Amino acid sequence: MLYRLLRPLLFSLNPETAHRLTLKSADWFAGLTGTAVPPKPVRVMGIEFPNPVGLAAGLDKNAEHIDAMAALGFGFVEVGTVTPRPQPGNPKPRLFRLPQAEAIINRFGFNNVGVDAFLANVARAKWRGILGINIGKNFDTPLDKAADDYVFCLEKVYTAATYVTVNISSPNTKGLRGLQEKTELDALLGRIAATRERLADQHGRRVPLTLKVAPDLDDVQIADIAAAVRTHRMDAVIATNTSTSRDGVEGLQHATEQGGLSGAPIRARATRVLAALATALGGEIPLIGAGGILSGADAQEKFAAGASLVQLYTGLIYRGPALVGECAEAAREG
Ligand SMILES: Cc1cc2nc3c(=O)[nH]c(=O)nc-3n(C[C@H](O)[C@H](O)[C@H](O)COP(=O)(O)O)c2cc1C
């Protein structure tokens, strides 16, 4: 209700300013109120989630707002993408609203404070819930050295994370999505899996790893990804990140901006990849559904397609925080 009143004001601002303002005020309100979200405990990746609705990566890139996001009632919060070294991301403007389509295009390009400052922010959070840390590569690390960046970040964040997401699907870092191809993926996941085994021995805890994929994959790529996540014993796959397609937004203002499209127009595309992965993996590896969830019914579509958990981003901007409870309620209704 409150968000319905606030939204026109936020939408009158430049999107990146509105984004910053909203997060700042969320920090402030978090101390005053918590949001009641119906419980729906689920066990996934060996972790007990209080409810299956999570915050998707990219909203809190620097882990500065964990307590505020947790206060919205999420069952889990994913922060990042974080890279080894700080980087400014792409020049502004780099975030665009397409309100007629309930969509966003962004080309942030992994702007973040770097893994050391990021971990200092994580340490300041009071919340002790399920925290996913999403890792990536610096824009200027050559692709044939990408694995070094992921290994570096995994070592750094290992003890701070409940689970770690390997993000190889952002369209805003040149060549990143090429890491989803069979040979590249096999090499990358081989390095990451070996690092995880070593860290598990060292710390006495095997931190689950999830792989985040794009919605723009064909059937062969999906089959290759399913084989690779099995071989390297990933613990879950997140389907999906933003899309490079412009289906459903043609002709709208900003539709031709470069970047990743999110929100309502990618819902079906993301669910198709989710369902294909569910078939290919035959229930062996859990799936986390993301992409275009703007209602409880949209969340139910992801569960029906094989997701054990879901994540929200663009829906929060169009529907506000009430969406978290609506999706958790939808999960309870099954
Ligand atoms: C502005 C913006 C920034 C994002 N940044 C990241 C990111 O840093 N890392 C990541 O894995 N996904 C990122 N995403 C993708 C979201 O986590 C999510 O996978 C995608 O937007 C699809 O869900 P949605 O339609 O509910 O937004 C970003 C999305 C948006 C809209």
**pLDDT over threshold 60, residue 32:** no
248 Cα to the center of ligand 1, angstroms: 18
- 3-class SS of residue 82: strand
Residue nearest to atom 11 of ligand 1 (CA): 57
Beta-carbon contacts of residue 55 (< 8 Å; ≥ 6 apart): 69, 72, 74, 76, 77, 78, 311, 312, 313, 316
Please write the tens of the pLDDT for every residue from 183-205: 899 999 999 999 999 999 999 99
**Choice from 107, 137, 238, 262 to test ligand 1 binding pocket (greatest atom count within 8 A of CB):** 262
203 Cα to the center of ligand 1, angstroms: 31
C-alpha span between 74 and 58 (Å, rounded)? 15
- What CATH number did the domain enclosing 91 receive? 3.20.20.70
Helix (H) or strand (E) holding 262: strand 260-263
Lowest mean pLDDT among 69-83, 107-121, 171-185, 189-203: 171-185
Split into its structural domains, the chain has a count of 1
C-alpha span between 296 and 303 (Å, rounded)? 11
Q: What's the whole-model pTM score?
A: 0.97
**pLDDT over threshold 80, residue 35:** no
For 93-121, give the DSSP string. Answer: P-EEEEGGGTEEEE-----B--HHHHHHH
What pLDDT is stored for residue 225 in this prediction?
97
Instruction: Show the domain range for 238.
Output: 2-333
What pLDDT is stored for residue 24 in this prediction?
82
**Choice from 53, 102, 112, 242 to test ligand 1 binding pocket (greatest atom count within 8 A of CB):** 242
**Choice from 65, 241, 247 to test ligand 1 binding pocket (greatest atom count within 8 A of CB):** 241
Please write the tens of the pLDDT for every residue from 122-146: 999 999 999 999 999 999 999 999 9
Residue nearest to atom 8 of ligand 1 (CA): 58
Closest approach atom of ligand 1 to CA 311: 26
User: Which is it for the CA torsion 150, 287, 163, 66, positive or negative?
Assistant: positive
Please write the tens of the pLDDT for every residue from 237-255: 999 999 999 999 999 999 9
Please write the tens of the pLDDT for every residue from 310-319: 999 999 999 9
User: What is the identity of the amino acid at 59?
Assistant: L
- Annotated active-site residue in 12, 25, 169, 170: 170
Closest approach atom of ligand 1 to CA 81: 8
170 is catalytic: yes
Lowest mean pLDDT among 103-107, 143-147, 181-185, 283-287: 181-185
C-alpha span between 196 and 188 (Å, rounded)? 12
Closest approach atom of ligand 1 to CA 312: 26
**pLDDT, the chain, mean:** 95
